[in-house]
Structure 1
Amino acid sequence: MATVPFPFSPVSCAFSRQTGIRRSPLVLALLSSSALLFPVQVHAQQANAGAEATELTEIVVEGATDSASGPDKSIVAGRTLAGSKTDTAVEDISASVSVITQAEMERRGTQNLDEVLAYTSSVSADEYGSDDRYDWVRIRGFYQTSTGSYLDGLPMRISGFTGSRVEPYGLQRVEVLKGSTSTLFGLNAPGGLINSISKRPQAVKHGEVYTTLGDEHVEFGTDFGGPIDDQGIWSYRITSKWQDGNNGADHTEDDRFYIAPALTWAPTDATSLTLLPSYNKRDGNTAHGIPYGSGIDPKTYLGEPEFEAMDTIEKNIGYAFSHDFGNGLQFRQNARYTDLDLTYESVYGATADPSVSRSAWAVYGNSRRFVIDNQLQYDVSFGRFDSRSLAGMDFSYNDTDEHRVFGSASGINIYNPVYCGLSCLTLPAGYDWNQQETARGFYLQEELTFDDRWILTLGGRFDSVTTESAFPDSGLSYKADDEAFTKRIGLTYKVTDGLSVYGNYSESFQPISADRTSLVGTPKPQEGTQYEVGLKYRPANYDALFTLALFDLTQTNVPYNISTTTQSQIGETNVKGVELEGKFALTDQFNLTVAYSYWDAEIVEDGITGNQGNKPQLIPQQMASIWADYTLPGEGIFGDLTLGLGVRYTGASFADNENTLKIKPHTLVDAAVNYQIRDNVALAVNATNLFDTEYLSYVSIYDNTAFYGDGRAVRATLKYTW
């Protein structure tokens, strides 16, 4: 992919690249240690089988169920919605699905989606370091931020620069479906998607209130609800959070206000309607970097505090409806309307020469989105066969207006910065940009089970997308129509009730931009194909799940420059890889999560730049992580004490497709301590990047700007539950 200037939108990075590396001793150590911990724990349980049991205070998620939408009883999920849009056991899905439950998020004290996904196999998050504008995520080597973010099964696509970040405190689980997903979800990158599930009303009364304190960080939140009437027909939940914080450097901020009142009406066991409104206000900052090789403190702020904003106000109103007609026939409908406002102001591009002007960039945007998904499911059994058929139709409309301003600011002394304020900015009138995207999808899926062992999954989908974009000031406008039919076939064989092996073939597609005036040849959507095999193991006597997958992913029809004025869709990228992941809630005391990913990525074809055979940019060849927490019972004398420790390793990558600048690998350590003061009062301390490791995340070849990863953050949380 050609290097883009700093003020790029997530849409301009719809396709991306990868990298190379050696086998790290740390990776081997992590994996071997995880392998040792499991049998040690089992042996300890066997040795103490005859001893008197110690009663422990169990950490319980209120209202936890074995549901495909959560909340879950532990860090191990049993079922998923993302894998097939049906309530299905994870081990029965012929695809790789990772689930981060609410229990896991709470144990690690996650603050952002980056932290939620930090211990998930084949997911690279926060790869742009101090660039905190969006939730930057790459799955199986392919960048997915602009198209692969979903909330409650519905897309949250970004047009231009107008996008927001998800609030983890408002979620009860996060699902990662890996691989090509267009046969169910429409236009998406081939690597996969992330589906966040909002907190919903529960059948039991519950509540919590908490406060979190850290370095220039104050936070308050509450989450409570339960049944309203004695029959349980009406139930509610209110989740709210206020935060005044920063992003670890001067003149940065991470201020939030979030509130989500949810209401469920369930007049019978067959009918349910849940209203899911939310208001999410977030005042953040844009990307902060320093000149590469300058040697100054990476936290040095080289922008202008008076012209610094990445502020969003997101208002959602949505619902989830389901009705069971009986005799195996069910209908579901999910819908959401979103209104999103963006204020984006930034000064960037400082150099070692203070006489060189910096750049100024501003975007004032508004996006209005409506999405709806209708599903009709029919289950029937005949003889040795069980059939589950799904027919669906979804529709999305996104109307985005942006006013963009590109100007300049006076230079600055990077070694002794003195800010000049708005007086040193030169801002022209700017220009307007707007885009409307209308997408319609029709899909069919059949899951056929034979003898309770073989599960054949067949899927097909037709998508039609119309995109219109315009620059009203210049009178330029563009319209594009794209159509695609994508297919999926998967086969799962259940060797035992807990062990399954599977294989699948799946496809994806992504439309290119509506402006195709520079494109040579007939425009086509970017297409992706995947071949995957794997196994999943869920032990009968332990709350655990182990998954292993091997995959081969290819994306074609990627636009590349073939001259200074023309492009051709000759780009092709391939990623072969292996991933393994294990989640083990071995006892009420001990939890373990391990993950390992190996990506062998290659630019197969690429314009006139001669990058064929190179590693695509920002793609590590290896990633590994391990998290473990253990509870020491207080035995009635003291409160229970839970200690957690995690290690994350990210291998080397290249900052550019030319492979001229290599980014070194890094290893980070996280930790957590939770002390149960009383049955309903707990004090937790969570630390990310515990040893304050300084590491380079990314270098923009365009303007020689280096972006470093986040430093140490330590926060203490006092929580009261009822």
Structure 2
Amino acid sequence: MPALPSRRPLLNALFLPTLLASTIAQAQDGTAARTLDKVTVVAERASTATKTDTALTETPQAISVVTQKLFTDRGAHNLQEVLRYSAGVTADAWGLDTRNDASSVRGLDPVQYQDGLRRSYGFSPLARPEVYGLERVEVLRGPSSVLYGAGATGGIINAMSKRPTFGAARGEIGLQLGSFDRRQLQGDIGGALNDEGTVAGRFVGLVRESNMQTDVLKDDRVYLAPSISWRGERSTLTLLASYQHDKTGSSQQFLPLAATLHAAPGRRLDPTTFIGDAGFDRIDSRVYSLTALFDHRFNDAVSLRSAVRYIDGKTTLQQLYVDSYSNPENPFIDADRRVVNRTAYGTQPDIQVLSADNAVQFDFATGAFQHLLLAGVDYSQYKEQLQRLDATGTPIDVYAPVSIAPTVRGWERQPDQESSQLGVYVQDQIRWADRVSLVLGARRDHARSKTEGQPSQTDNATTYRAGLIGELGGGVSPYLSYSESFLPVSGQDLFGSTFKPMRGRQAEGGIKWQPARNMLLTLAAYRITETKRQTNDPDNVLNVVQTGQIRSKGVELEGQFQFANDLTVTAALARNEAEVSRSNFALEVGERLNDTPQDLASAWVSKGFQLDDAARMKLGLGVRHVGNTVSLGNGGRVITPSYTLADALVEMQVTNWTWALNITNLTDKRYYAPCRTFGDCFAGYPRVVTGTISYRF
């Protein structure tokens, strides 16, 4: 791939301070090995489930925590890949997809958060979060509206940003080379900025130039994330800023079903096939973000936590894709079954998001009961100015793709969209005898949405949660929980009545076992019901009614173990039955949800070996299994086969230097995830080899 001259000066300017710091640190410390952060593989606490720093064994709900060390060892390049080994999570729901980090949890859609504040709103093609800038990712499964307001029933994926740490300056600089001409320079430096230790800063950044699996397209990125923290006797203020610019294209080509999964022998397209137009297809996304986190302790019993974030993002997404929807099994327009029509698609959203969450925490006792009472108010506002591209696609021979550029007539302004939500919540975590925890919560929300030129829509909802967990001895803690969610549905039916919010309810029970520190095993069984889903009116083909209902039930087992001899083992097993439980059409009742695997399993093992006083080696191997999926529609059924993939790690540390080789999809298995009755298939990830050399100081 030719170099991009405009980025070379940026590379030098961006990392010159880090290189200088590295040189100084090396001169001061010689060959003494130092690490940027305390290495944590198995997390013991999380905040996503309760908005408080709570031990996982005191949280009556299933939650997964993936630490930076763990997802780095596994070779994760994006948020989807971070979640591959988490129980009940279909991380690559649509295969390799550069448009967004699509995933499903317990067969349902989750909502993406960052640092406890909402980041995703429907299909908004903001640049995907950069995982090099994350400390950990927490996954809360199931409805969670009591603490977070409007959201889907799948739960929450909360990415936690790297933050300044108070202490001596330390950091790392690294270079990645890998498949598809990947070249990435990355750096992370931070520490105290004054002698008193009251001010700390951190800078995380990278520049990447790369191609991708799909022919022709690039995967370039610039990411800059400075942060600073002030701490006083009772208060802490942290400011997190980030800038991200992605220049890429849609990795998913919507390959025809008739030329992939259902292709005749010898006619199956290679998953890398590009059937767009090199001069037209692109994703160009810029995102600016500023977050303020403030904590203040009034006394030993009362404290305040406040978080505010503003996001400004603009994306241009253009793509030519195969028009297979009119005839899914035979989209070809020629007798030789080679040429297909293409649809030209273009969208240009300009998005602003303002989020705030303020809570007061009270620590007190009533007799034998210790209370952690949280009362808060949160607010979010989402604005979108959108343009659609008026363009006409052209045919292409998918087996010998030479593109004819589409006819482009220009951008057309769409009505502005705006939505807001104001919520008030209260939660009490009651602890008895340091063995039993009861969590009770309630929330009231006011949600408003407005489309330019149309009447505004207002929804109000009250949601509840309750949970109980207790330690029986030997680290065994059984639990029960109940939680709710709501999600506003915009629009009106044929008769002018506004749609009501979809509602979700989950009942969950399980056992958590912590035989020792750095070890946790969770067994969970759940049942989720989602109501008020839109479905076609059997009495009027022009109308839509909210009588649909789905049910998701299943069992999950997840374990994370970090042994003293530098042996790490994680394992996950999940069985999910997500189906249509109520519909106006009898044939749909009892059918599996489209594109949802019933079975998921994974295991990861890594072992470190001390070679001598200055050298250490680590080897890692993982296996992931995703069950088959079913797609129903257009009078047909498409079954996408299951697949099993392997990942590997070889790492060598010598004093301050680390060399790592990651291989994902070790055997280069070709698979789809999934194929649909609409007539398209989503290609899975190929084998990806990444080599990283880094120096820590």
TM exceeds 0.5? yes
Which of 549, 557, 577 is matched with 2:524 structurally?
A: 549
Amino acid at match of 2:332: A
Contact 1:353 1:413 in 2 (8 A): no
1:656 aligns with 2:616: no
1:334 aligns with 2:299: no
Which of 294, 297, 303 is matched with 1:321 structurally?
A: 294
Amino acid at match of 2:237: L
1:586 aligns with 2:566: no
CA distance in 1, matches of 2:321, 2:376: 46
State the 1:522 CA deviation. Answer: 5.8
1:107 aligns with 2:73: yes
State the 1:600 CA deviation. Answer: 1.3
**CA deviation digits over 1:375-427, x for unaligned, max 9?**
10000124311011100000011110110125322201111111223xx4244
Which of 537, 540, 543 is matched with 2:513 structurally?
A: 537
Is the partner of 1:83 in helix, strand or coil?
coil
Q: Alignment identity in percent?
A: 32
State the 1:127 CA deviation. Answer: 1.6
For 1:77, the equivalent position in structure 2 comes to 43
**CA deviation digits over 1:224-251, x for unaligned, max 9?**
0100112210000000011111321212
Which of 278, 281, 285 is matched with 2:242 structurally?
A: 278
State the 1:706 CA deviation. Answer: 1.4
State the 1:626 CA deviation. Answer: 0.3
For 1:170, the equivalent position in structure 2 comes to 133
Contact 2:127 2:244 in 1 (8 A): no
Which of 301, 304, 309 is matched with 2:277 structurally?
A: 304
Structure-to-structure mapping, 1:223-238, within 5 angstroms: 223-238=188-203
For 1:407, the equivalent position in structure 2 comes to 391
1:438 aligns with 2:420: yes
State the 1:126 CA deviation. Answer: 1.4
For 1:188, the equivalent position in structure 2 comes to 151
Amino acid at match of 1:297: D
For 1:256, the equivalent position in structure 2 comes to 221
Structure-to-structure mapping, 1:619-698, within 5 angstroms: 619-636=596-613, 639-656=615-632, 660-676=637-653, 678-698=654-674
RMSD across aligned positions (CA): 1.9
What residue ranges of structure 1 are gaps of 5+ in the alignment?
Answer: 1-56, 65-72, 471-475
**CA deviation digits over 1:166-198, x for unaligned, max 9?**
110000011001111000000111121011111
Contact 1:546 1:580 in 2 (8 A): yes
Contact 1:399 1:435 in 2 (8 A): yes
For 1:383, the equivalent position in structure 2 comes to 367
State the 1:564 CA deviation. Answer: 3.5
Contact 1:368 1:400 in 2 (8 A): yes
For 2:692, the equivalent position in structure 1 comes to 717
For 2:443, the equivalent position in structure 1 comes to 461
CA distance in 2, matches of 1:163, 1:389: 35
**CA deviation digits over 1:127-163, x for unaligned, max 9?**
211432100011111012xxx1101000013255443
For 2:594, the equivalent position in structure 1 comes to 617
CA distance in 1, matches of 2:122, 2:602: 33
Is the partner of 2:224 in helix, strand or coil?
strand
State the 1:517 CA deviation. Answer: 4.1
Which of 170, 179, 191 is matched with 1:206 structurally?
A: 170
CA distance in 1, matches of 2:638, 2:34: 48
CA distance in 1, matches of 2:217, 2:59: 43
Is the partner of 1:655 in helix, strand or coil?
strand
CA distance in 2, matches of 1:219, 1:319: 29
State the 1:609 CA deviation. Answer: 7.3
State the 1:101 CA deviation. Answer: 0.7
CA distance in 1, matches of 2:683, 2:456: 39
CA distance in 1, matches of 2:139, 2:600: 17
Contact 1:162 1:367 in 2 (8 A): no
Is the partner of 1:496 in helix, strand or coil?
coil
What residue ranges of structure 2 are gaps of 5+ in the alignment?
Answer: 1-30, 260-267, 324-330
Return the TM-score normalized by structure 1. Answer: 0.86
For 1:352, the equivalent position in structure 2 comes to 332
For 1:503, the equivalent position in structure 2 comes to 480
CA distance in 1, matches of 2:571, 2:32: 22
The range that moved more, 242-251 or 167-176, is 242-251
CA distance in 1, matches of 2:295, 2:172: 29
Contact 2:44 2:518 in 1 (8 A): no
CA distance in 1, matches of 2:54, 2:137: 16
State the 1:431 CA deviation. Answer: 4.2
Which of 477, 495, 499 is matched with 1:523 structurally?
A: 499
Amino acid at match of 1:697: A
CA distance in 1, matches of 2:586, 2:623: 38
**CA deviation digits over 1:579-607, x for unaligned, max 9?**
11111111242111100111012101224
> What is the count of residue pairs matched by the alignment?
642
Contact 1:394 1:441 in 2 (8 A): yes
For 2:23, the equivalent position in structure 1 comes to none
Contact 1:239 1:259 in 2 (8 A): yes
Which of 336, 347, 350 is matched with 1:363 structurally?
A: 347
CA distance in 2, matches of 1:597, 1:400: 38
CA distance in 2, matches of 1:169, 1:114: 13
Is the partner of 2:279 in helix, strand or coil?
helix
Return the TM-score normalized by structure 2. Answer: 0.89
For 1:393, the equivalent position in structure 2 comes to 377
Contact 1:291 1:352 in 2 (8 A): no
CA distance in 1, matches of 2:96, 2:391: 23
CA distance in 1, matches of 2:82, 2:122: 24
CA distance in 2, matches of 1:58, 1:619: 50
Change over 3 Å in CA distance of 1:646–1:406 after alignment to 2: farther
Amino acid at match of 1:220: L
Amino acid at match of 1:654: V
